[in-house]
Amino acid sequence: MSRGDEEFVEFARASSGRLTHAAYLLIGDRHLAEDAAQTALVRTYAAWSRVRRQDAYAYARKVLVNHVTDGWRRPLRERASGEVPDRPAGGDLADEVAGRQWLVEALGALSPRERAVVVLRYFFDLPETAVASELDVTVGTVKSTNFRALAKLRVRTDRPVASARAAGDTTTSRGERP
Amino acid sequence: MMDLDTLRSGLRAAPGQPLGAVDIEHVMARGRRLRVRRRLLASGGAAALAAAVLAASAGSSWLAQPRPAVPGGTAPPSSAAPSLAAPSWAAQGQDPVGAVVPTGIRLRGGEVVLYAVAVGEPSVPGVHFGVMAGQMDADGRLTARVASNEVTGSDRAAGFHAVQAATEVDGVWMPEFGYYAGPAAKISGSVGGQVIRARQARWSQDPGVVLFWFDPADLPAGKQPSRLSAFDAAGRALPTGDATAGHG
């Protein structure tokens, strides 16, 4: 095995779990998520000689997000209803199985772009400028998309709650296609 | 309401059931196939030019072939159809090796065609050719779009090889295609339990190799066939080989 291949194997072992987890959040289906993560790694390997000296993880992440958001083979995306299910009462959301399941279902109610922004911002912890670059949109679009997504998810921010609800209601009533 | 920290924690919490591990060996095999395709396409412009020059010198009569008949609307032509009388082009990596096969699928930029191309990749010593899906315009000019080749073992081992899922290249959707090594008289796939027959043509350089493709007109909108099968003239099932469609 060449040195480059050895490096890729090491990279894939280290990153595949996190990429698959992100894909699951983006898609909501574990099998499709595993396929998407694998596809991202395939394309990363195909470009390995070019990206191995750069930020290979950023490359793989970008491929993954683009693959999912562009995914013409993603029938699940059409299931997005814009209606976030009721959150289970009680318990610590981060620790509860029910809470985890609710979060996946809630993400499924978002449009692909909203979902991608949430995952890039709060799973990968990317700043808004980096999210804009990865999604090839403006920072303003990232801000507004993020605001709508958080409103739908009923996440408390420093904005007034009433505004968040209004924005969420407006977006839902438009029936925005995912 | 929850706060952002709770959202972050929820996103990062492990899924209830563990997600499957990625098969890195399979990833690298697919990556090599994609890498070879990119190498082939990197010189596609030169190939298009060479093909155009050769087509001009050979005349255009060999280009005009009718779309194969489709009895009953869904059954594709037999393996005897549609092969063009090929100019005797030498294998130059990008030049067609043998006949150029028209698919009858006409898109912006010309009719989709399939042809074999030479492959010389040190990492796959048993592979000497792959299949290119390209387009031929009204002047007979070929444009390479996407190529696919076997990435392990022999390119002529019995079974499917180099199956490439439908993919968008330069804004044009190329159909799913590949080749079968063996006496396949019928090739089919499945979409939601419905059997979809592929269209096919024998490779002029080796009649034991059958090029095939799925015409989007035969498929439900937006669907791709899975579970490819091949049968001989007597209807007997043939070995499958690697029938997994590559993507990307």
A contacts of B167 (beta carbons < 8 Å): none
Lowest mean pLDDT among A25-39, A123-137, A155-169: A155-169
Query: SS3 of A106, please?
Result: helix
Tens digits of residue pLDDT in A110-131: 888 899 999 999 999 999 999 9
Complex ipTM, two decimals?
0.72
Q: Which two tokens stand for residue A100?
A: 């985890």
- pTM to 2 decimal places: 0.51
Tens digits of residue pLDDT in B67-94: 333 333 333 443 333 333 333 233 334 6
Query: SS3 of B86, please?
Result: coil
Contacts of A61 (CB under 8 A, 6+ apart): A19, A22, A40, A124, A134
Say if residue A29's pLDDT is above 70: yes
The answer to whether B3 contacts A155, with C-beta atoms less than 8 Å apart, is yes
| Smallest Cα distance from A93 to chain B, Å | 6
pLDDT band of residue A88 (cuts 50, 70, 90) is low
The answer to whether A94 contacts B22, with C-beta atoms less than 8 Å apart, is no
- Of chain A, the percentage scoring pLDDT greater than 90 comes to 31
**Best residue in B6, B24, B121 for a mutation probing chain A (most A CBs within 10 Å):** B24
Q: Rounded to an integer, what distance in angstroms lies between the CA atom of residue B155 and that of residue B127?
A: 5
A contacts of B38 (beta carbons < 8 Å): 46
- A98 CB near a chain B CB, below 8 Å? no
- Of chain B, the percentage scoring pLDDT greater than 90 comes to 33
Asked if residues A143 and A167 have their Cβ atoms less than 8 Å apart, the reply is no
Tens digits of residue pLDDT in A134-145: 888 899 999 999
Nearest to B27 among A12, A95, A119 (CB): A12
- A16 CB near a chain B CB, below 8 Å? yes
pLDDT: which is higher, B16 or B27: B27
Say if residue B65's pLDDT is above 90: no
| Smallest Cα distance from A16 to chain B, Å | 7
Q: Look-up: residue for tokens 């605001």?
A: A147
Query: Among A134-138, B1-5, B54-58, B222-226, which range has the highest average pLDDT?
Result: A134-138
Mean pLDDT over residues A77-84, rounded?
A: 45
Q: B107 to each of B94, B103, B142, B180, B237, how far by Cα in Å?
A: 22, 11, 13, 25, 33
**Best residue in A42, A48, A86 for a mutation probing chain B (most B CBs within 10 Å):** A42
The answer to whether A123 contacts B8, with C-beta atoms less than 8 Å apart, is yes
pLDDT band of residue B145 (cuts 50, 70, 90) is confident
The answer to whether A38 contacts B27, with C-beta atoms less than 8 Å apart, is yes
Of the candidates B164, B182, B183, which has an alpha carbon nearest to the alpha carbon of residue B174? B164
**Best residue in B3, B4, B22 for a mutation probing chain A (most A CBs within 10 Å):** B22
Q: Rounded to an integer, what distance in angstroms lies between the CA atom of residue B15 and that of residue A24?
A: 9
